[in-house]
């Protein structure tokens, strides 16, 4: 790598990090909706998470848009009007981040200047935060199921973080 490539990589790194975090929040929101549907489908099976429920929800929703998954969740769970508004906005944000963000010519042009790159980074951080806040609505519903089992999403995060740090994470061998 020459000096120009090094400088370019260094200048772009904060943007790619912010974009990666925003993409993660997009996927996290979708995964949370799916997990909520799995917990809802598992509630009458006597299992914490029913394998049948996992397969059923994953099969049913694998080709769905986030909007359709949200609509399915609305059939199973109660969302307040302001939560619905926030989740609809998050869905639009998700679609913008994933499908349109780099198609916006002004975003490409902003990459050419330090001020523009900072603006992109801040914008992506704002979008990521918006997605995170919307996801907390779904997480609260997930926690309602988990609390009945003596768990919470925070306990699960701590448990998986410990597994990761100890290098003992076991990835299920399931095809989607």
pLDDT digits (tens, 9 = 90+) for 57-98: 999 999 999 999 999 999 999 999 999 999 999 999 999 999
pLDDT at 14 > cutoff 90: yes
Tens-place pLDDT, residues 124-165: 999 999 999 999 999 999 999 888 877 888 887 787 777 778
Which whole number is the average pLDDT over 8-35?
94
Q: Is residue 119 part of a domain?
A: yes
- Which domain range does residue 89 map to? 3-166
- Whether 108 is covered by a domain: the verdict is yes
**Is a pLDDT exceeding 70 seen at residue 4?**
no
Give a yes or no: residue 133 inside a domain.
Answer: yes
Instruction: Give a yes or no: residue 172 inside a domain.
Output: no
Q: How far apart are CA 111 and CA 123, in angstroms?
A: 13
In the chain, the number of structural domains is 1
174 is a domain residue: no
Domain assignment of residue 171, yes or no: no
Does residue 30 or residue 9 have the better pLDDT? 30
In a domain, residue 175? The reply is no
Burial class for 28, CB neighbours closer than 10 Å (0-12, 13-18, 19+):
middle
Kindly state the helix (H) or strand (E) to which residue 41 belongs, with its residue range: helix 3-42
Q: Is residue 157 part of a domain?
A: yes
Q: How confident is the model at residue 49 (pLDDT cuts 50, 70, 90)?
A: confident
Residue whose tokens read 């302001």: 82
Q: Please name the residues in contact with 53: beta carbons below 8 A apart, sequence gap of 6 or more.
A: 38, 39, 41, 42, 45
* Cα gap 137→133, rounded to integer Å: 7
């Amino acid at each position: 790598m020459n000096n120009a490539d090094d400088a370019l990589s260094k200048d772009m790194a904060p943007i790619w990090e912010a974009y990666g975090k925003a993409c993660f929040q997009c996927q996290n929101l979708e995964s949370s909706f799916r997990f909520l549907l799995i917990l809802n489908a598992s509630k009458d099976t006597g299992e914490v998470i029913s394998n049948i429920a996992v397969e059923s929800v994953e099969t049913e929703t694998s080709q769905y848009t986030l909007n359709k998954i949200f609509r399915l969740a609305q059939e199973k769970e109660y969302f307040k009007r302001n939560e619905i508004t926030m989740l609809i906005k998050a869905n639009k944000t998700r679609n913008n981040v994933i499908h349109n963000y780099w198609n916006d010519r002004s975003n490409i042009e902003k990459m050419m200047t330090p001020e523009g790159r900072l603006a992109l980074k801040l914008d992506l951080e704002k979008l990521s935060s918006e997605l995170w806040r919307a996801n907390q609505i779904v997480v609260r519903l997930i926690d309602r199921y988990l609390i009945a089992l003596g768990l919470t999403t925070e306990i699960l995060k701590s448990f998986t973080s410990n597994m990761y740090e100890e290098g003992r994470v076991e990835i299920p061998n399931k095809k989607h």
